[in-house]
Amino acid sequence: MMVNTGDDPGADRVTVVEVGPRDGLQNEKRTIAAATKLELIHRLADCGLPVVEATSFVHPKWVPQLADAEEIMAGLERRSGVAYPVLVPNEKGYDRARAAGVREVAVFTAASEAFNQKNINCSIAESLARIAPVMERARQDGIPVRGYVSCVLGCPYQGKVPLADVIRVSEALLAAGCVEISLGDTIGVGTAGQAREMVRGVSRSVPAEQLAVHFHDTYGQALANILACLENDIRVVDASVAGLGGCPYARGATGNVASEDVVYLLEGLGMDTGVNLDALAETGQWISNELSRPPSRAGQAVFNRTRQKDE
C-alpha cells in the first residue's frame, strides 16, 4: 500500500512509540535526576503520545543511568490511555518490573551474535532461552510483551547482518508470544532500499500489523527509512523526543530519530498520530536545555513558528 500524499487527512493512523526516557537517556553520562525523568515522561504523555517507554529494569552496573527504575515507576502518574512499557532483560528484571507495578514490558535481543555478547553477555539462542520464562510469566499475568531485534541493518562489531538472521530472530520472538516486534537499526547505518527489503522480508512471516520500526539517525537516513517502511504497511514507529539517545553497547550510534521530525513527516503525509506537535516541540526544547544539547531540526522550527505566532 502506498502512503497518501497529504490530500486525504486522517486516512491512516500511525502509532508513535516514544522511547526517549529509556533509549534516549540510557546513554547520558551525567546522572539525571529522577524528578527530571518523571517530568519528561509526564510531559510526553500530555503531548498525546500513546506509548512512553519509561525505563529499564536491567542490571544497574550495565546501565547506571537507569538504576532508578523503581523510583521512576513509583513516581509515575499514569495518564489514561497511555502505556508505559519498560525493558526487561531476564526473569529477574521482570520480577523487579512487576513489583514496581509495570503493566507492559519489552524484551530484547539482536540479529547479531557479536552485539548480543556485548549488550547482554550471551548468544542469540541463550537470549531467547532467557526470554522464554519472561514470556511464560507475562502470559500468566496478562502482560503484553514487545520484542526488540537490534542490528537489523548492520552491527558495530560484526558489520553486515544477513536478512535471514533478522527474519529468524523476529519469527522466534513472534512464536514466543510477543505482540509486537520492533526492528532496530541500532547504529543508524541503513538506507531506504535496505529498510524496504528488510521489512518486506520480515513481513512475509510476521504480519506487518505486528511490526514496528526503530531507527537511529547516525547517517541522517532515519526519516527516509521510515517512509520506505510506511510504504510497506508499517504503522508503528519508535522515536525519541529531541532525538535523544544512543546505545551504550553500540559504538558510534547517535540518537534515535526525533519524535518531532517523525510527527512532522506523518502530518505532512496526512497520517494521524494523535500527537500535539507544538507541545512536543516545546517538550523537546525543554529537555534539550536540561541536557545542554541541541533540539531536533523539526523541533526547533516548530518551536520558532509557535513562538512567532504567540508574539
Question: Using only C-alpha atoms, what is the Rg of the chain?
Answer: 18
Phi-psi label, residue 3: left if phi above 0, alpha if psi -120 to 50, beta otherwise: beta
Residue closer to Mg ion by CB (options 23, 104) is 23
Cβ proximity to ligand HMG: between 37 and 214 the closer is 214
Nearest CB to ligand HMG, comparing residues 3 and 172 = 172
Cα–Cα distance measured from residue 153 to residue 81, given in angstroms and rounded to the nearest whole number: 33
Q: Within positions 209 to 228, which residues make up the interface with ligand HMG, using CB under 6 A? A: 214
In order of 36, 69, 72, 212, 304, the CA distances from 163 in angstroms are 39, 34, 37, 16, 42
Q: Among residues 20, 85, 154, 184, which is the contact residue for ligand HMG, using CB under 6 A? A: 184
The residue from 14, 40, 47, 58 that contacts ligand HMG (CB under 6 A) is 58
- Of positions 48, 93, 154, 243, contacts ligand HMG by CB under 6 A: 93
Residue 7: CB partners within 8 Å, gap ≥ 6? 270
Please say which residue, 150 or 285, places its beta carbon nearer to ligand HMG: 150
Strand partners, 219: none
Is 217 a residue that touches Mg ion (CB under 5 A)? no
Answer yes or no whether residue 203 interacts with ligand HMG by CB under 6 A.
no
Q: Applying CB under 6 A, which of residues 47, 52, 63, 257 lies at the interface with ligand HMG?
A: 63
Q: How far is the CB of 216 from Mg ion (least distance, A)?
A: 6
Size of the site for Mg ion (CB under 5 A): 1
DSSP state at residue 6: S
For residue 74 the three cell numbers come to 513509583
Give yes or no for a contact between 130 and 137, defined as CB atoms under 8 angstroms apart.
no
**End-to-end CA gap in the chain:** 42
- Torsion angle, alpha carbons of 76, 78, 84, 86, to 10: 30
Number of residues that bind ligand HMG (CB under 6 A): 25
Binding site for Mg ion (CB under 5 A): 23
The site for ligand HMG (CB under 6 A) is made up of 23, 26, 56-59, 62-63, 87, 89-90, 92-93, 96, 108, 119-121, 148, 150, 184, 186, 214, 247, 249
